[in-house]
Amino acid sequence: MQSERKIICEVTVIGPDRKGIVASVTNYIFENQGNIEKIDQNVVRGLFGMQLEASFNGIDKDGFTRGLKRLCRSLGMDVKVHFDEPDRLKNMAILVSKEPHCLEAILKAKASGELIVNIPLIVGTESTLKPLASRYNIPFYHVNHKDQAGAEARILRLLERYNVDFIVLARYMRILTPNFVWRYPNRIINIHPSLLPAFPGAYAYLQAHERGTQIIGCTAHFVTEELDAGPIIWQEAFRIRNGESLESIKRRGQSLEAKALLKAIKLYIEGRLEVYWGKVHIKGNRSRIKDVGSNKARQGQQHAGE
């Protein structure tokens, strides 16, 4: 059906670098009376990635998607098409490993109504946190990561199945490849246990402790293909006590990790985050989100296939 409301479509194209991809995709959008609002492209080690946002005054979503997929198959490219639906709650996927503090904080906030969002699935590198997901009646998928490419392929299929809008890495101890990250530009939120850009990578608390850092904290940021270098959304910090042990620092830091991650999620689902020139800008609050939340917050967890 045609709609008078402006429709936003996000298109991600990934595959081997070759000539003509940008022209072919953009021409297809123009032929369907679309207007390109944003476009970004990159090539890393022969892998091409393009993300664009197009607007339409009215469109046959299924027909447009089928046609674009046919075009991209002919170009040897993989394509993801996602239509923004402002009148429904966003679907948030959570990726975890074994540390429970961030996941527990998110699920408690969701249950109390502090977070107005759907959580249709949780994906874990192991099954440690499956009982926590079961307590909140959220499907949990254990994805073996011995083969990183295979693991990411399965996760991407799950995200597509559950129509996921954005992803939260709640102490997910794996590095995502560009092939994965480019499919969700500025839609993957990570929490890192340091005040970035200091102490990126693993063992951030240990590095800070060994260097005698006096102020330590954590950073919620968008994920890019460059490790722990994505645009910063929110940071929290505390001062190290004289002679404080590494274990004490970790305990205090974990509390702030949950706090910073929740703040970043709230800002995202309220539509208050804009990224340009590699920096996050926080806009004023939007009343529309409150209206959506009041209508939907009491609806039960929405699962695919229900």
Catalytic residues: 228
- Radius of gyration over every alpha carbon of the chain, rounded to an integer in angstroms: 20
What single-letter amino acid sits at 169? L
User: Count of CB atoms within 10 A of residue 118's CB?
Assistant: 25
- Determine the Cα–Cα distance for residues 272 and 179; give it in Å rounded to an integer: 27
Q: How many other CB atoms are found less than 10 A from the CB of residue 76?
A: 10
- Listed residue (85, 160, 134, 82) closest to 301, CA to CA: 134
Tokens representing 301?
């967890």
Number of C-beta neighbours around residue 232 at 10 A:
18
For residue 16, cis peptide bond before it (omega within 30 degrees of 0): no
Instruction: Give the rounded distance of the alpha carbon of 301 from its chain centre.
Output: 19
Cα–Cα distance, 61 to 212 (Å, whole number): 56
d(CA 116, CA 164): 15
Phi/psi for 158 (5° steps) reads -65, -40
Provide the sign of the torsion angle of the four alpha carbons 95, 66, 301, 189, taken in this order: positive
Contacts of 244 (CB under 8 A, 6+ apart): none
Q: φ and ψ at 53, to 5 degrees?
A: -120, 125
Joined together, the tokens standing for residue 44 give 């890393």
